[in-house]
Amino acid sequence: MLKNRKGIIISLTIATMLTCSACAGNTTQQGDTINTADSAQTLDTNIDIVQSTERTDNTETAISDSTTSDITGQNTDTSTTDSSNVTETELPPYEYPGPELFYSVLYSYLIDELSPYYAAADVSIPCPIIVHVDEEDKDDIKVYGNFWIFNYDLNGDILENTSGGSYPGCIHLKSTDEGYEVTSMEVVEDGSNYTESAKEIFGEYYDAFVETTSDSEQTESIRAQIIANYVAANNLSITAYQDYGWDPVTLPEENIDSFYSTLD
């Protein structure tokens, strides 16, 4: 069971990690921590789970493409909700509701590439905590941040978190005639190489990254606002979200048209 709110943001310990039957993996019960250690390389837009091994600090799980690239992330799975209490309502898939095409592509990428590595849920909602966006080279736009994915089941008017993961690093995009395209993703290495690889990936933005990862209140604020905007855009009656072992968190008012101008 979680001991504090920061735990759900920096090191989720509510895990029941499920991986696909074609891949190796570890399964734990609620309240357990999944600890893994692997190297992190560049991630292209087609990746598959290949392994899950142990590590000793934050909750992590390695993901790799079908060749040799690995990425790591903090992963949890708490999908043991009593199905008799869950409202039988099909939720619409998450789509970024704001006017910025750039963020629409970024959010879609996180859902498409990360959510399949967890047990199926009613809806997957990304939560990118963006540190910096470098748009100097339109063929290689770099988005530095801590990229979260959360999976939820609907219980009444509450979204209950069943699993999720954190993937700090840099996402590369390029500008195209149609808009934007994600070309690759770099993720900070796990275990003893975490700090070194984070400094290599984030460079001059490393200190800002460290500050961001230690600010659980900011992460929760952004997470709640993203959910609130999803609810408003789809005219849903959802009023709160809830992490396992915690009270529900009431959603704020939507701010779809000004979200990034407010939070960035």
pLDDT, mean of residues 43-59: 36
Q: For residues 180-194, give the mean pLDDT.
A: 95
- Buried/exposed code over 122-155 (b: 16+ C-beta within 10 A; e: otherwise): bbbbbbbbbbbbeeeeeeebbbbbbbbbbbbbbb
pLDDT at 68 exceeding the cut of 80:
no
Least confident of 17-26, 124-133, 218-227: 17-26
Q: Is a pLDDT exceeding 60 seen at residue 208?
A: yes
Average confidence (pLDDT) over 5-32: 36
Q: What is the pLDDT of residues 98-119, one digit of tens each?
A: 989 999 999 999 999 999 889 9
pLDDT exceeds cutoff 90 at 8: no
> What would the mean pLDDT of 41-69 be, rounded to a whole number?
36
Give the mean model confidence (pLDDT) for residues 49-76: 37
- Please check the confidence at residue 1 and state whether its pLDDT lies above 60: no
Is the pLDDT at 214 greater than 90? The verdict is yes
Q: What is the mean pLDDT of residues 58-69?
A: 35
Task: Say if CB 17 and CB 24 are below 8 A apart.
Answer: no
pLDDT at 260 (0 to 100): 83
What pLDDT is recorded for position 140?
98
Question: DSSP for 48-70?
Answer: B-------SSS--EEEE-SSS-E
**pLDDT above 90 coverage of the chain, percent:** 61
* Domain chopping of the chain, boundaries: 89-263
> Is residue 97 over pLDDT 80?
yes
Average pLDDT value for residue range 187-195 = 94
What are the tokens at 222?
Answer: 């952004």
pLDDT of residue 264: 43
pLDDT at position 20 over 50: no
Read off the pTM: 0.69
Average pLDDT score over the chain: 76
Q: Report d(CA 171, CA 147) in Å as an integer.
A: 9
What does the pLDDT read at residue 175?
Answer: 96
Residue 72 has pLDDT above 50, yes or no: no
